[in-house]
């Protein structure tokens, strides 16, 4: 037979019933309090004074609302003070409180500003400007006679008046010409051409030009008669001029060998031949000239080899302007050493006085032949 403890069961059921009753009471009070709260929230409107006027206000975004206070209503103590809203006047435009950055249009083209030509305001027509005077004096000071003569002739062609400036330029040119030695006859004649252009009425300059021309012609004839002349069998009309010191046989080869080619109706040209002649082959890659404490490159590049003569290597080329200037320096230097850059070692050879003299004669003849070819052009100008 099963026995049930009813006391315990009644206790549990009673506890649950008490809890449910408490929860229901709380919910009921909350429901009752809500309408009272809503009622209390509207009661404050009835407590306001009857003479209070409320004006609706429209809030506009990004606009500034301006209000002006009015005198208080009811000066007595404890009275209500009101500040009614004052709308802006119609003529006043609303001011934005948002800052706007102005952005330029990217499609706008940028045009460069025109630069006006700079001209001397005080330069009269036909006058020589200060820049032209400075340029001419600079050319005279550096003895660039050909450019100076071209500048003087250009000024005369455009009708410029050189009378006020000719005396200064003439004095500068005469000082440079008188300082030239007799060996610089070519420079002297070019300087006297400039002097004759600056002072056409001075017959002395014209006479000096004629004398210098005669002296140059005599010197050119002397050198041409001294050198040997050979007609090219493969190029008719081409003549080769060689110095008599140059060897006539292949078993004697000078370190430096200059010879000149010329056509009857063309400019002369200068060729440079350098040789290495020794007991063994050294595979020359170039020559450096050492003189007066300086070292300059005379030739650069591999030399040709002779299969039959193991100790003979050479290079033949058209002389460049740089090589011509190096050769001029070698011709007047006291001691000259040629350094053959071989592979794997180098050999140095002294240049003798006879060899330097032959180089100087061929360079002088080359200059005279070029001037003689350019003389008809200068006379025609």
* pLDDT tens per residue, range 341-356: 998 889 999 999 999 9
Same domain, 304 and 238: yes
pLDDT of 379 above 50: no
Residue 44 placed within a domain: no
Please give the average per-residue pLDDT across 99-111, as a whole number: 51
Residue 207 placed within a domain: yes
Same domain, 371 and 302: yes
Please give the average per-residue pLDDT across 231-250, as a whole number: 84
> Where is pLDDT greater, at 88 or 258?
258
pLDDT of 248 above 60: yes
Q: Which helix (H) or strand (E) holds 168?
A: helix 163-178
Same domain, 258 and 370: yes
Q: For the chain, how many structural domains are there in total?
A: 2
Give residue-wise pLDDT tens across range 285-338: 999 999 999 999 999 999 998 777 678 899 999 999 999 999 999 999 999 999
Residue 92 placed within a domain: no
Residue 144 placed within a domain: yes
Same domain, 355 and 271: yes
Residue that finishes a domain, picked among 225, 260, 283? 225
Q: What residues make up the domain containing 142?
A: 130-225
Residue 167 placed within a domain: yes
What average pLDDT does the chain have? 75
Distance between CA atoms of residues 316 and 229, nearest Å:
19
pLDDT of 75 above 60: no
SS3 218: helix
Residue 265 placed within a domain: yes
Residue that finishes a domain, picked among 186, 210, 225? 225
Residue that finishes a domain, picked among 207, 225, 243? 225
Given phi > 0 = left and psi -120 to 50 = alpha, else beta, which region is 62? left
SS3 312: strand
Same domain, 147 and 218: yes
Same domain, 262 and 182: no
* Angle of CA points 324, 368, 333, to nearest 5°: 40
Same domain, 216 and 354: no
Could you give the C-alpha distances from 318 to 259, 274, 332, in angstroms and in order? 10, 12, 22
Confidence (pLDDT) at 242: 92
Confidence (pLDDT) at 381: 42
Q: How far apart are the first and last CA of the chain?
A: 157
Give residue-wise pLDDT tens across range 124-179: 555 678 888 889 899 999 999 989 999 888 888 888 777 777 888 889 999 998 88
pLDDT of 114 above 50: yes
Please give the average per-residue pLDDT across 268-292, as a whole number: 92
Residue 300 placed within a domain: yes
pLDDT of 57 above 70: no
Please give the average per-residue pLDDT across 207-212, as a whole number: 85
Please give the average per-residue pLDDT across 212-234, as a whole number: 88
Distance between CA atoms of residues 289 and 295, nearest Å:
6
* Residue 96: pLDDT band with limits 50, 70, 90: very low
Range picked from 13-27, 234-248, 293-307 for highest mean pLDDT: 293-307
Confidence (pLDDT) at 335: 95
The token pair at 381 is 């100008």
Same domain, 260 and 363: yes
Same domain, 370 and 268: yes
Same domain, 162 and 247: no
Distance between CA atoms of residues 314 and 286, nearest Å:
10
Residue 37 placed within a domain: no
Same domain, 341 and 206: no
Same domain, 330 and 360: yes
């Amino acid at each position: 037979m099963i026995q049930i403890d009813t006391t315990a069961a009644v206790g549990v059921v009673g506890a649950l019933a008490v809890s449910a009753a408490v929860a229901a009471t709380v919910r009921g009070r909350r429901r009752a309090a809500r309408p009272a709260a809503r009622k209390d929230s509207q009661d404050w409107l009835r407590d306001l004074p009857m003479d209070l006027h409320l004006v609706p206000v429209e809030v506009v975004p990004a606009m500034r609302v301006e209000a002006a206070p009015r005198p208080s209503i009811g000066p007595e103590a404890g009275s209500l003070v009101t500040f009614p809203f004052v709308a802006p006047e119609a003529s006043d435009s609303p001011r934005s409180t948002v800052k706007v950055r102005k952005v330029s249009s990217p499609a706008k083209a940028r045009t460069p500003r025109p630069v006006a030509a700079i001209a001397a305001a005080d330069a009269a027509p036909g006058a020589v400007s200060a820049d032209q005077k400075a340029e001419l004096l600079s050319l005279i000071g550096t003895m660039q006679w050909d450019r100076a003569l071209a500048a003087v002739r250009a000024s005369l062609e455009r009708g410029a008046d050189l009378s006020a400036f000719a005396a200064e330029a003439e004095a500068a040119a005469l000082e440079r010409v008188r300082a030239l030695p007799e060996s610089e006859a070519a420079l002297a004649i070019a300087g006297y051409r400039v002097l004759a252009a600056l002072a056409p009425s001075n017959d002395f300059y014209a006479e000096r030009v004629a004398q210098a021309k005669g002296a140059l012609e005599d010197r050119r004839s002397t050198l041409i008669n001294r050198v040997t002349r050979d007609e090219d069998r493969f190029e008719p009309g081409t003549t080769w001029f060689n110095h008599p010191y140059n060897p006539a046989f292949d078993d004697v080869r000078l370190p430096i060998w200059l010879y000149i080619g010329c056509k009857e109706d063309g400019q002369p040209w200068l060729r440079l031949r350098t040789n290495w002649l020794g007991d063994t082959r050294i595979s020359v890659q170039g020559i450096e000239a050492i003189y007066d404490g300086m070292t300059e490159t005379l030739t650069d590049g591999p030399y040709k080899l002779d299969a039959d003569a193991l100790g003979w290597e050479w290079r033949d080329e058209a002389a460049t302007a740089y090589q011509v200037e190096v050769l001029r320096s070698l011709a007047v230097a006291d001691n000259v050493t040629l350094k053959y850059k071989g592979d794997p070692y180098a050999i140095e050879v002294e240049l003798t006085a006879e060899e330097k003299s032959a180089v100087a004669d061929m360079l002088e003849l080359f200059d005279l032949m070029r001037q003689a070819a350019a003389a008809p052009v200068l006379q025609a100008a």
